[in-house]
Structure 1
Amino acid sequence: MLYVVTGPPAAGKSSWIEAHAKPTDIVIDLDRITSALTGPGAPQWNQHPLHLRVAHRARYAAMDAAFELLDQLDVYLIHTMPNGKALAKYKRLKARIVTVDPGQEVVMQRIKAMRSVDMERVATRWYNARHRLPREVMPQTSRSW
């Protein structure tokens, strides 16, 4: 089964996956990939654009490989804001779309506390576009912050 986990930055998508995925599942999370590809002490969030460029390529390669194994294991994919083309592909793959959203106020507080100000724009864009996403929303906070 493919689980596509969407939601704004700092919503708790990774925490949702940690609560649901098993050790034998595949987890494709750009933050985790970037962290794995950077040196010791690199920030967990607010990564450098060059690191992100390499991480995006690794993410796409991981997605291609993991999608071929959906009949053998579960795959959890974080995709903050999938476009129509991506949603159509996920539908063909019979994905379950999970939206993690503790609410805009909570998200903006978390971004102010731990993320780059650039993420406020991403979160605002997510909230403005959320009407396009399937609605299986997880409205509760993912963990105590």
Structure 2
Amino acid sequence: MLYVVMGPPASGKTTWVRAHAKPEDIVIDLDALAVALSGPGTDDHGYGREVREVAYSARSAAINKALDRLPRMRGTDVYLIHSMPAAKHLARYRHHGAKLVTVDPGEAVVRQRVRALRGPGMDGVVTRWYRQQRASGTTPVSGAPSRDW
């Protein structure tokens, strides 16, 4: 099964995946890839533009390989954290039978977490995410905080 986990920054997507994925599952997470590709001491969200570009390429390759193997996987699920997939990506994921999961504890909670845990540049991403959700009429799967922050 392919799970596509969506939501704004600091909503609890990674926490949701950790609560549901088994050790044998595949987890594709841009932030985890970026940290793995960064030098020592890089925090989970403090990597630079160059690392981000390489991590995007690594994520794309991982997604392609996982989707290619998905029909033959037995007992292994794929969890893909993709905050705001474009329509073409959603169509591709749906073609592979994806279960779409939106983690959203609410805009006020997300903005509080972003102020406390992320850089100021993330505020614009939060605004864009909620604007896109309002335009699409999407309802979140999780309306409660994912954990105590």
Matches within 5 A, 1:42-81: 42-71=42-71, 72=73, 73-81=76-84
Kindly provide the amino acid, as one letter, of the partner of residue 69 in structure 2. Answer: L
**Partner of residue 138 from structure 1, selected from 130, 137, 142:** 142
* 1:99 paired residue number: 102
- Percent identity, aligned pairs only, is 50
Following TM superposition, by how much is the alpha carbon of 1:91 offset from its aligned partner in structure 2, in angstroms?
Answer: 1.1
SS of the residue 1:137 aligns to: coil
Aligned-pair RMSD on alpha carbons? Answer: 1.3
The verdict on how the C-alpha distance between 1:126 and 1:120 changes in structure 2, with shifts beyond 3 A counting, is same
* 8 Å Cα contact 1:97-1:136 kept in structure 2: no
Question: What is the CA–CA distance in structure 1 between the aligned matches of 2:57 and 2:68, rounded to whole Å?
Answer: 17
Following TM superposition, by how much is the alpha carbon of 1:46 offset from its aligned partner in structure 2, in angstroms?
Answer: 2.9
SS of the residue 2:69 aligns to: coil
* 1:18 paired residue number: 18
Following TM superposition, by how much is the alpha carbon of 1:140 offset from its aligned partner in structure 2, in angstroms?
Answer: 1.3
Kindly provide the amino acid, as one letter, of the partner of residue 24 in structure 1. Answer: E
Q: 1:28-49 CA deviation, whole Å, 9 max, x = no partner?
A: 0000000111111012113200
Scaled by the length of structure 1, the TM-score of the pair is: 0.95
**Partner of residue 119 from structure 2, selected from 116, 121, 124:** 116
* 2:129 paired residue number: 126
Kindly provide the amino acid, as one letter, of the partner of residue 12 in structure 2. Answer: G
SS of the residue 1:8 aligns to: coil
Moved over 6 A (4+): none
Scaled by the length of structure 2, the TM-score of the pair is: 0.93
Following TM superposition, by how much is the alpha carbon of 1:7 offset from its aligned partner in structure 2, in angstroms?
Answer: 0.2
Aligned residues: 145
* 8 Å Cα contact 1:97-1:134 kept in structure 2: no
* 8 Å Cα contact 1:2-1:95 kept in structure 2: yes
**Unmatched 5+ residue regions in structure 2?**
none
Q: 1:53-95 CA deviation, whole Å, 9 max, x = no partner?
A: 0100000000011112223121000110011111111110110
